Amino acid sequence: MITVHGYAPSGNCWKVAQILRLTGHAFRWVEVDSNRGETRTANFLALNPAGKIPTVVLKDGAVITESNAILAHFAEGTAFLPPPGLARTRVFEWLFFEQYSHEPNIAVARNIVSFLRAAAANADRLEQCRIGGERALGVMERRLAQHDWLAGPGPTIADIALLAYTQAADEGGFDLARWPGVRAWVARGLALPGLTPLPRAS
Amino acid sequence: MITVHGYAPSGNCWKVAQILRLTGHAFRWVEVDSNRGETRTANFLALNPAGKIPTVVLKDGAVITESNAILAHFAEGTAFLPPPGLARTRVFEWLFFEQYSHEPNIAVARNIVSFLRAAAANADRLEQCRIGGERALGVMERRLAQHDWLAGPGPTIADIALLAYTQAADEGGFDLARWPGVRAWVARGLALPGLTPLPRAS
């Protein structure tokens, strides 16, 4: 069986559980808390020397990493990843946007504010996250004000990848009321059959 | 004809020129200097509202963005992107690693040190780049100490993507002598027929 090593409140790990459910793969989940150093133990580093989650072990023992590469791996051949051509390229544009322009702002702000609870000590960093995060949400709004899904006429892994942390943007201080197209898309995405919401910060 | 809007010294733009040459596509290059605000003009924003380079205009007028999505677009069906399965997933693992863990450290350090010439005013940021960049080079060294190429037995777009800024890592203060496998791979990659080196900071 497929094994996912992940931390339940992590959006990057959430992506993996969602695509496995959406594509009908059974899997086992092993909880690993990266905020408590559990990705830096000798056992975990033997599995993934980069010490990062999510880490997926396939049935044959092969280990795959990088949440968006994992999304593409399991979505191949399904409607969540169109065949090669412009439609597929649109999906990858959003996947790279997510890792470069969205996650480092919106996920990092959430971690500082709601998990580390260290907003005051990271005021400069948070301000950079606010500027970058608002810009990223603006890019999404431009698309979602006029379309139901990010990359094409139906949901793809671009939506799974961006939903991961957008659904919890408020936990990093972003009020989605300013981006109504994004807010409506979050509700639409979370209503997809099989999707489960990201756990809130406790 | 394909048109590439890019800034010649940018590694992200360099990737696009390389894959187009390697896959035999003729293209026109329009120079856009992002450090001088040329990606924020009304004309450029009409082309790409995100105001980012590289921006590619295909023959039919479709616009594609995100350097690594562009790499995958043109590599599809060639040896630079293996067919779906674990070999392809290995390529995408490196592409996402590049945008999340490598470029924000090694390219940003180069821009601060050698283009903006503002190292003193950005000491804290540079220190973060140093820590993250050394970690990224260590991840690459683990692979390249024992293999010729990053993602498989031959060169792929994973190598093109990581070569982009690794070849200029010294311009951000990284001495590749500490990562001999990486240094040998840079020489190997730049010797691929058709590849041209990234211009040095003037």
Q: In order of start, what are the domains of chain A with their CATH numbers?
A: 2-75 (3.40.30.10), 86-190 (1.20.1050.10)
- pLDDT reported for residue B59: 96
Tell me the backbone φ, ψ of residue B111, rounded to 5 degrees.
Answer: -65, -45
- pLDDT reported for residue A181: 98
Distance between CA atoms of residues B24 and B45, nearest Å: 29
| Chain centroid to CA B23 | 17
Q: Does A62 touch chain B (CB under 8 A)?
A: yes
Q: Average pLDDT, whole number, for chain A?
A: 96
Distance between CA atoms of residues B145 and B141, nearest Å: 6
Sequence-distant (≥ 6) Cβ neighbours of residue B90 within 8 angstroms: B151, B152, B158
User: Would you say B86 and A62 are in contact if contact means Cβ atoms under 8 Å apart?
Assistant: yes
User: Would you say B125 and A124 are in contact if contact means Cβ atoms under 8 Å apart?
Assistant: no
Percent of chain A having pLDDT more than 70? 100
pLDDT, tens only, A42-71? 999 999 988 999 999 999 999 999 999 999
| Structure tokens given for A199 | 């756990």
Report the first-to-last Cα separation within chain A, whole angstroms: 30
The ipTM assigned to this model is 0.96
Distance between CA atoms of residues B31 and B8, nearest Å: 7
DSSP β-ladder status, B2-6 and B27-31: parallel
Percent of chain A having pLDDT more than 90? 96
- pLDDT reported for residue A34: 85
Bond before A49 cis per omega within 30 degrees: no
Q: Per residue in A151-178, is it b (16+ CB within 10 Å) or e — as a string?
A: bbeebbbbbbbbbbbbbbbebbbbebee
Find the mean pLDDT for residues A157-179.
98
Residue A99 has its nearest CB partner, among B49, B67, B100, at B100
Find the mean pLDDT for residues A169-173.
97
3-state SS of A49-98 is CCCCCCEEECCCCCEEECHHHHHHHHHCCCCCCCCCCHHHHHHHHHHHHH
Regions of chain B where pLDDT drops below 70: none
Q: Does B63 touch chain A (CB under 8 A)?
A: no
pLDDT, tens only, A74-99? 999 999 999 999 999 999 999 999 99
Q: How far is CA A84 from CA A11, A189, B40, B83, in A?
A: 27, 24, 31, 11
Residue B99 has its nearest CB partner, among A70, A72, A100, at A100
- pLDDT reported for residue A201: 87
Sign for the CA dihedral angle at A154, A157, A162, A164 comes to positive
Place of tokens 């593409």: A72
| Residues of B in Cβ contact (< 8 Å) with A50 | 139
Residue B96 has its nearest CB partner, among A49, A69, A139, at A69
Å from B103 to nearest chain A CA? 9
